[in-house]
Structure formats: C-alpha cells, structure tokens
Chains A and B, each alone.
Chain A
Amino acid sequence: ILNVEQSPQSLHVQEGDSTNFTCSFPSSNFYALHWYRWETAKSPEALFVMTLNGDEKKKGRISATLNTKEGYSYLYIKGSQPEDSATYLCAFNNAGGTSYGKLTFGQGTILTVHP
C-alpha cells in the first residue's frame, strides 16, 4: 500500500486568513495527483487533477502546486471564508505495474474557518 501523507491533520483559522496544507506522496512512477474538497454530510468534490511536475492550478481563491520530483503538493486558500470549512483530501495514482487504476488517498486535512 502506497504511503500518502497529509499535514496538518487539522487546522483552525480566522476568516480572512490565508492558509496552506501539504500532501506528500512517493516520487517514483508518478501519474496523477488529485485534490478533493469534502464537506460534512456531502460527498467529495473534485478540485484539481495534476499530472505535470511544476503544474499550478487555480479555482477562485484555491490554488495548488505540484512537485513530482520531491513528491509533494501544496493546496493554498487565500482569504479563507467560513464556507471553506471542510476536509481536503489528496489522492495519488501510481503509473507503475499493476497499480495503474489504483487511487490512494491521504487521511485529509480538516479545515475550520471561524467567523
């Protein structure tokens, strides 16, 4: 089982703060890195899928970067709002061997934004 680590496990910020969290994954046989946003009592929603080293993607106030050589991705939220409160999940796909269709998730970072 591949090791995908997210840090921190949880984060409390004030409305208006900018924040970021990390996803670490194996640097060998990289194929794709996914980010999802998961609100309580809902299902996960896709934010980004990143495939190229150096990739940067942006959706509104949320952006992500990717470093496949060192095996990490950062998710940034600028000017956090209470509605950004959710669990943020990353997931790694390995291109090697029989793992082609496997998607391994990290444990998630729980973000709480206080008004």
Chain B
Amino acid sequence: EAQVTQNPRYLITVTGKKLTVTCSQNMNHEYMSWYRQDPGLGLRQIYYSMNVEVTDKGDVPEGYKVSRKEKRNFPLILESPSPNQTSLYFCASSPAGSLDQPQHFGDGTRLSIL
C-alpha cells in the first residue's frame, strides 16, 4: 500500500531532550516536506526537500533540523525541544520535484514538550 509513515504517532517528553520524528514514503516521491499544525494558524511548513541531499527552509524552521540522505526518508530532528514546539506534525510527499502534484500526508505525530 502506498503510504507515508510517521513515527512515533504520539510523544510526551521534556524540554531539552533531543528527539527525532521519522518519516518514510514508499512511493519513490521526489518531494518531501514537514508541517506543523497549531490551532488558529493552519498548517505551516517547517522544511522541505526537492530531492535527495537538497533541503530548504519553510516558513517556521527555527528549532528544527532535517536531513535527506535517501529518497524515502526525511526525519525531523528537534535538538533541544521547547514547550512552544508542542504541536501536531505532518510529513508529506509528492511525486515531482515541483508543486504541481498533490501532497500525500502521513497520519501525523502529536508532540507534547513539558
């Protein structure tokens, strides 16, 4: 089944403890992206990757890192999480290296930083 898989789905952790949210897609998609969703603010793009080894900042990259060493994986790293990073996170992918194709979203990861 074609899908975007995020792990973990839920995580409660404490300020300053490094964490990684994994994202993997099995559709051979070029483009991958991370978003956070906060009440009243909609989806905001954190980082995106047009292809392997190519990553760029979205609108809210502060406090996050990403890497794209393989086409299928695009992990989101919080080196020193803070409470303002408590949010619902989505990973997405799309076929082309451009945005004239729809995004396929993962099921989301709910992070709580205490």
B-contacting residues of A (Cβ < 8 Å)?
1, 31-32, 34, 36, 42-46, 48-49, 51, 89, 91, 93, 98, 100-108
Contact = CB atoms under 8 A, between A and B. Distances in A.
A49 B44 CA distance: 18
Contacts of A103: 33, 45, 48, 58, 99, 103
A103 B42 CA distance: 12
27 contacts: A32-B98, A32-B100, A34-B103, A36-B102, A43-B106, A43-B108, A46-B102, A48-B102, A49-B99, A51-B100, A91-B43, A91-B103, A100-B98, A101-B49, A101-B50, A101-B56, A101-B99, A102-B48, A102-B56, A102-B58, A102-B59, A103-B45, A103-B99, A104-B59, A105-B44, A106-B42, A107-B42
Interface string B21-45: 0000000000101010000111111
Contacts of A93: 99-100
Contacts of B50: 100-101
Given A44-B43, A45-B105, 11 more contacts: A32-B98, A32-B100, A43-B90, A48-B102, A89-B42, A91-B43, A93-B99, A102-B56, A104-B59, A105-B42, A106-B42
Given A100-B98, A101-B56, A107-B40, A43 B45 contact: no
A49 B31 CA distance: 15
Closest 8 CB pairs of A and B: A46-B102, A93-B99, A43-B105, A107-B42, A105-B43, A101-B48, A105-B42, A32-B100
A58 B41 CA distance: 28
A111 B103 CA distance: 22
Contacts of A98: 56
Nearest to B4: A43
Contact of B100 (A43, A49, A105): A49
A108 B39 CA distance: 11
B101 interface: yes
Nearest to A46: B102
Residue of B40, B99, B100, B104 with most partner-chain A CB within 10 A: B99
A45 B92 CA distance: 11
A31 B100 contact: yes
